Structure 1
Amino acid sequence: MARGGQGLARVAVVVRAGAAPLGWLGVVAAGVGVLVPGITGRRIGVLAGAALFLIAAVVVPLTRRKRYGALARGAARASKHDVLQDRAVSVRNWRRGHRWWVLLAFAAALGSAFAVPAAGGMLLAGAGVGLRLKAAWIGRLERAAESLLWVRVDWLGRGAGVPAGKRVKGYRATGIAAGDAAPGGARRRGGVLV
């Protein structure tokens, strides 16, 4: 990165990276959990799981929303020397950095089925849905400002951490057509924003 350029990862892509693994592992854990009668019984477990799913799907998108909004409002224009990270690389970095936490959460969701069937898996799935909703909200911010939000890779750390964490001092902004991900972090399809 010559002349002071920085490696930049899309904020929405990093947020969205955990949605699929958490969502699918949550569905698997809930499905397996339904097969176990558990201490509370299946009916109570599924009802508790539905409540936990809804709580997670609401709380996760609201977490750090003010911080994301403040960083987005203060985003500086990216330099022509900055290097924009591909969507696939950002997703891979997040998943590599969090794989043990995700597997531990999956194991906990499976283990909880012996007490409250399906509840842990539905909580995990709700967190995945919440991350997707948060990424969609960031996408709406990007569309409103007609610019994409990026965070310095070195501020994310080795585990590709939270793009609104304490280490993050600010965002960079580019035009809406920069990079290979649409607003909200989804893949671009055929060069058209989706």
Structure 2
Amino acid sequence: MAVVVRAGAAPLWWLGVFAAGIGVLVPGVTGRPVGLLAGAFLFLAAAAVVALVRRGRYAELVSGAARAGKYDVLQDRAVTVRNWRRGHRWWLLLAFAAACGSAFAVPAAGGLLLAGAGVGLRLKAAWIGRRERAADSLLWVRVDWLDGRGGSPAGKAVKGLRGTGIAAGDAAPGGARRRTAALV
């Protein structure tokens, strides 16, 4: 579940930082100092809102997680991330274009808003990771409950979560890549 949440964090962060960098180059209507101050506020607000929204639904799904069965279809972290990014690439491109375009009015604010949304997703994935470590179980959303684009891990189609052992799959708690120790 944390993998789906975390899949959008990196693209939103990097596109936001890049758009903010482009936005600083444009003087804009309000001027750079006002744009950067507004952007800093939007960054913090977006990070907080994205990190906190729908926590009740996530907690409800986590508390009702069942053990993964033999016929549950669970996919690797890399496949989940790739599907999410492919399914949302046009939305990401549109958000990047809007952030760059908003720089003509308020420099860097749109890019910092986008970056704040990425940070909020990362914080939400970390929160889910702490819940996974506490339960000593990785939480998965069945692939057939997500649409082909990656979907929402707490959407209406998701009826529950599946849990596996902490060593299952290629993801660590929180959706990060599992680090394997080098054999000596």
What TM bracket, shorter-length normalisation? over 0.9
The answer as to 2:173 corresponding to 1:183 is: yes
| Structure 1 stretches of at least 4 aligned residues deviating more than 4 Å after TM superposition | none
Q: Which residue of 1 aligns with 2:34?
A: 44
Distance 1:130 1:182 in 2: 19
CA contact (8 A) 2:73 2:144 kept: no
Amino acid aligned to 1:31: G
- What are the within-5 Å matches in structure 2 for residues 89-100 of structure 1? 89-100=79-90
Q: Which residue does the alignment assign to 1:173?
A: 163
Supply the distance in 2 between the matched residues of 1:191 and 1:18 (Cα, whole angstroms): 27
AA aligned to 1:56 is A
State the distance in 2 between where 1:151 and 1:181 align. Answer: 13
Match of 2:138 among 145, 148, 151: 148
Q: For 2:96, give the aligned amino acid.
A: F
Distance in 1, matches of 2:115 and 2:181, equals 31
CA distance in 2, matches of 1:191, 1:125: 32
* 1:143-184, Cα deviation, whole Å (9 max, x unpaired): 011111111112111211110011111111111111111000
Q: Does 1:31 align with 2:29?
A: no
**Structure 1 CA distance, aligned partners of 2:70 and 2:17?**
43
1:63 aligns with 2:53: yes
Which of the residues 48, 68, 71 maps onto 1:78?
A: 68
2:147 paired residue number: 157
Distance between the aligned counterparts of 2:73 and 2:29, measured in 1? 53
Conserved? CA contact 2:29–2:105, under 8 Å: yes
Q: Give the total of aligned pairs.
A: 182
Which of the two has greater strand per residue?
Answer: 1
| Unpaired segments ≥5 residues, structure 2 | none
TM-score (norm 2): 0.96
Whole-angstrom CA distance in 2 between matches of 1:176 and 1:158: 26
Greater Cα shift, 178-187 or 82-91: 82-91
Distance 1:95 1:48 in 2: 29
Extract unaligned runs of 5+ from structure 1.
Answer: 1-10
SS in 1 for 2:138: strand
Which of 10, 18, 22 is the equivalent residue of 1:20? 10
* Helix, strand or coil at the partner of 1:149: strand
> Percent identity at matched positions?
80
Partner AA of 1:93 in structure 2: N
Write the distance in 1 (CA, Å) between the matches of 2:180 and 2:155.
Answer: 33
Any idea what SS the aligned residue of 1:177 has?
coil
